[in-house]
Chains A and B, each alone.
Chain A
Amino acid sequence: MRPPLKPQRVRDPVHNLIEFGTDLLEETMWRVIQTPPFQRLRRVRQLGFSELVYPGATHTRFAHSIGVFHTARRLMRIIERHIGDNRLQFQEAQARTALAAALVHDVGHGMFSHAFEEIGKALDLKMAHHEAVSDLLIRDSEIAEVLRVYGSGFADDVADVIKRGRPGNLYDAVVSSQFDADRLDYMRRDRLMSGVQNSGIDFEWLVANLEIGRVGAGVDETAVGEIDTFILGRKAHHAAETYVTALFQLYPTVYLHKTTRGAEKLFSAVMLRLVPLARDGDAARTGLADNHPLVRFAREPDDIARATALDDTVFWGALPMLAEAPDAGIALAAARLRERRLLKCVDVRARLGASLAGDRPADPAGWAALRRRVERLVIRVEQRLKEWNEANAGPFPRILVDKTARDPYKRFQDSKGPLNQIHIRGDGDRIHDMADHSAVVAALEPFHVFRAYIAGDDAGAREAVEKIMADEIDKAGKDDAEA
């Protein structure tokens, strides 16, 4: 029998004091934190390369995960109160499962998190996907051993909540909803640590006005019943607007900052050459020893031990060797990252948009037509940049393209529903979608990125980007005139 632990306390920049008591759940969570897979999160920064832009943004997934657990406990008290008010039976086991899931939800994140996931997609590396790694670590690692105190199936139940990614019951709302503990922690933590002064949320007021409500669920046009989840009380209207617009601001200012994304592109340039070389028996060209964790991962990418041996510090520590790699692409990209000699960014989408738009059309149809014109230009320019890269090889692609979009509210993937709608109680106790209740939220549009990154001294690539944009703008103008 394990000796009982004393109460534990953590000081946190967002939440101040986070306490772990001596009841079995909190003691178990404290023991989970001490396991090697969880301690590894100390070496994975929450915002990856953002520190190159915001020097304070060095916080880790370790601190975030503890903050998520702390926030989840607060959210669970709202559920407990609702259950009590309605004279229902609080389901301790389901609550415990959701709280444990909140703590370990990020345990599978790889080095530089989302940047590494992109490498995984490009090279089909299963263990570069944090969901896959989290699932295995929770079910079968030191974490699972600690969780066994609640029975042999508990670790699987926790993994299932995360894998499902959608609420299976009311308790899951603390890990899967628009007000889940993950988002409520990262929005505050990322703002605080980066130092940006926009994107603040009225956390205490939001939490004070969170209620449980019953909302419809479905797939496309088909209903599948109703679920209980978090909704906001009517007094939280303005706090809800701020909550949505805060994310809208965090995308351009922090998460998709052009310099951060440029550094990620260099990281990708290194890894997209390193992995195939090491995998195909040419590790010597990477500049790394045969037993380096990056080389071992490249050779055995399906081995979870190889994946979890990687973290941000492993990559930063490898940079001096990578910068001297015989492979010119690896050497150049690594040296640039080490010395923060980042590539120059051309905001192609902004330039294309500016070429078409005068004043924004007042009517929705005119605005939609303009967006379609920009989209056509983007697709044509992207194709031509790709062709230019293929015809003009460099140590790594001379024009690195970054194209993505993020939607702060309406998510253009699969169906809209309880997971991606914010519901607020209106007059007569009717529950509304926030977009029907707020002109501000309704007007928010996705943040699109289409940028080209070029070395400052590569005049040829710069000229090519400018020419391709000018050609396509010219063609679009002629097409419009003919139409």
Chain B
Amino acid sequence: MPKPDYQKAAEIVRDAGGRIVGRTRLQKVAYLLELAGFGEGFAFEYRHYGPYSENLTEAIVGADAFGLITEEERRTDWGGWYSTFDATPDAGRPEAGPRARFAAAAAAIDAVELELAATAAYLRAVEGCDDPWAETARRKPEKVGGGRLERAREAYRQLLALETARPLPPIA
């Protein structure tokens, strides 16, 4: 029997060090895992926060229902809310290989910078954009200031240096 989506979703959290802070970060880590050839087939499309998978959103609810992760919602300093996902022992033993190293590295990136980096990667991989960083800046003008775009590019460069099952788009 194929692995259920809720198990796949829980394993993303598990392999990213056991905790992912934020729904946006979860989505972008999962997307970059797909791009790097470590994914398990979640389908992504472009939404306002960049690449987004509705299946993953559903699957993480299932992971919570089966006790493979726990989710806690917390209020931010800026007035919104964010979720923290923690893998439980029922999610299984974490991987120690390149997938886990990649997931943990992606999950450690600042949420805004990760969104920018994943968006740029999506724009190249899916939309064939020649200058995905400029296009990212055009679509997210409110997020690229204060050196964030440069830091996002640097974070992506560090992901490029990691071992992957498939080469990431060479955009940094």
Partners in one complex: yes
Identify the A interface with B (CB < 8 A): 121, 129, 131, 160, 163-166, 168, 215-225, 227, 371-373, 375-376, 379, 383, 405, 412-419, 421, 433
Task: Tell me, rounded to whole Å, the shortest Cβ–Cβ distance linking B115 to chain A.
Answer: 6
Question: Do A223 and B57 touch (CB < 8 A)?
Answer: no
User: Roughly how many angstroms separate A433 CA and B81 CA in the complex, as a whole number?
Assistant: 11
Task: Tell me, rounded to whole Å, the shortest Cβ–Cβ distance linking B128 to chain A.
Answer: 12
Residues on B with C-beta less than 8 A from A219 are 22, 24, 49, 111-112, 115, 143
Question: Do B62 and A220 touch (CB < 8 A)?
Answer: no
Question: Do B49 and A164 touch (CB < 8 A)?
Answer: no
Whether a CB of chain A sits under 8 angstroms from the CB of B34 is no
Residues on A with C-beta less than 8 A from B139 are 160, 163-164
Residues on A with C-beta less than 8 A from B6 are 379
Task: Tell me, rounded to whole Å, the shortest Cβ–Cβ distance linking B101 to chain A.
Answer: 22
Residues on A with C-beta less than 8 A from B54 are 413
User: Roughly how many angstroms separate A372 CA and B27 CA in the complex, as a whole number?
Assistant: 22
Question: Do A414 and B49 touch (CB < 8 A)?
Answer: yes
For A164, A371, A373, A413, the residue with the greatest tally of chain B CB atoms inside 10 Å of its CB is: A413
Between A and B, 6 residue pairs with Cβ closer than 8 Å are A218-B112, A220-B23, A371-B65, A375-B61, A375-B62, A379-B62
Name which residue of chain A comes closest to B57, CB basis: A413
Question: Do B48 and A164 touch (CB < 8 A)?
Answer: yes
Name which residue of chain B comes closest to A220, CB basis: B22
Smallest CB-CB A-B distances: 5 pairs: A220-B22, A216-B78, A375-B65, A223-B78, A220-B111
The majority secondary structure among interface residues of chain A is mixed
Task: Tell me, rounded to whole Å, the shortest Cβ–Cβ distance linking A346 to chain B.
Answer: 20
Question: Do A220 and B65 touch (CB < 8 A)?
Answer: no
User: Roughly how many angstroms separate A414 CA and B145 CA in the complex, as a whole number?
Assistant: 21
The interface size bin for chain B is: 35 or more
Query: Which of A222, A371, A414 is B110 in contact with, Cβ under 8 Å?
Result: A222
Question: Do B65 and A379 touch (CB < 8 A)?
Answer: yes
Given that A216-B78, A220-B111 are contacting pairs, would A415 and B24 also be in contact in the complex, using a CB cutoff of 8 Å? yes
Task: Tell me, rounded to whole Å, the shortest Cβ–Cβ distance linking A459 to chain B.
Answer: 28
Question: Do B23 and A413 touch (CB < 8 A)?
Answer: yes
Contact with A along B131-169 (1 / 0, CB 8 A): 000000011111101000000000000000000000000
User: Roughly how many angstroms separate A415 CA and B23 CA in the complex, as a whole number?
Assistant: 6
Question: Do B48 and A416 touch (CB < 8 A)?
Answer: no
Question: Do B142 and A221 touch (CB < 8 A)?
Answer: no
User: Roughly how many angstroms separate A220 CA and B21 CA in the complex, as a whole number?
Assistant: 7
Question: Do A379 and B4 touch (CB < 8 A)?
Answer: yes
Task: Tell me, rounded to whole Å, the shortest Cβ–Cβ distance linking A16 to chain B.
Answer: 34
Task: Tell me, rounded to whole Å, the shortest Cβ–Cβ distance linking B127 to chain A.
Answer: 10
In the complex, chain B residues 47-80 whose Cβ is within 8 Å of any chain A Cβ: 47-49, 52, 54, 57-58, 61-62, 64-67, 74, 76-80
Whether a CB of chain A sits under 8 angstroms from the CB of B14 is no
Query: Which of A121, A164, A217, A372 is B78 in contact with, Cβ under 8 Å?
Result: A217
Residues on A with C-beta less than 8 A from B49 are 219, 414-415
Residues on B with C-beta less than 8 A from A414 are 23-24, 27, 47-49, 52
Question: Do A218 and B78 touch (CB < 8 A)?
Answer: yes
Residues on B with C-beta less than 8 A from A383 are 4
